[in-house]
Structure 1
């Protein structure tokens, strides 16, 4: 399998995994990932959330509405600037068992990797995360059509 095909297969597997988690929570994969971001980096404004996860402001508002309706987040006034509304995690789901299973299987699958291999993998992921973030910004900022 060539690199492009492998990358496509890996990307699809990651999305499918997060869709399965989202289904358990009653939300989409994008909603699940945004909820995780809010839990790690919140409270934050809807605009900050939109920028962080690559959504339009309108799409981020709809996403927050869905998470709020499930009780996962709440909108609160910013104490420092009462004109701003912040999104704050409220009732975060416990996914520790799901991620413990993933971590256990991943550790077993990669237990023979050397320190040098891990360094290469880590550097690759760091670089590709930057590439993906820049390409997401480019796609979001550029008018165009998928056809």
Structure 2
């Protein structure tokens, strides 16, 4: 090793794209399970609420399409989030059979408390990086998000194809 933990660019790139990314993914899943538990939500409910915060109001069908959940599963998620006062439902003005799901941003002081504490603690993660390093980290995270959504779409398409092939073979 040459003064760093890794030997050269190829070694570092391999560690980032395999070991570190996998470990970060696992840690992130466990982290969000703990956040959900702290908020009295299930992990799926928590991430659906997070999608509503990120993307804004949408229908249950749209939420199902984004998450890959069945519309029946989304109905359960919505009922639990509504009961916990994290979202409201209103009729879709374009289609009366559908409902618009709206996150309630000020519903829970507990959410503000939990995420305020996390945000304060996370600020230490970027302390000590210069502007160039922070730009590189932001670019990597942005690319990782795009990569993840792209891989989700590919895997869902593959899964649908497999189901159709099995049905065709019967």
TM range (shorter): 0.7 to 0.9
Dislocated runs of 4+, deviation >4 Å: none
Paired residues in the alignment total 145
TM-score under structure 1 normalisation?
A: 0.81
Q: Does the aligned pair in 2 maintain the 1:75–1:87 contact within 8 Å?
A: yes
Q: Distance in 2 between matches of 1:125 and 1:40?
A: 16
Larger RCO (alpha carbons 8 Å, 6+ apart)? 1
Unaligned runs of 5+ in 2: 6-14, 164-170
Q: Does the aligned pair in 1 maintain the 2:126–2:134 contact within 8 Å?
A: no
Counterpart in the other structure of 1:47: 61
TM-score under structure 2 normalisation?
A: 0.72
Unaligned runs of 5+ in 1: none
Q: Secondary structure at the match of 1:61?
A: helix
Q: Does the aligned pair in 2 maintain the 1:74–1:88 contact within 8 Å?
A: yes
Correspondence list, 1:38-117, <5 A: 38-90=52-104, 92-94=107-109, 95-117=111-133
Query: Greater shift after overlay, 111-120 or 44-53?
Result: 44-53
Question: Which protein is bigger by CA-based radius of gyration?
Answer: 2
Counterpart in the other structure of 1:136: 152
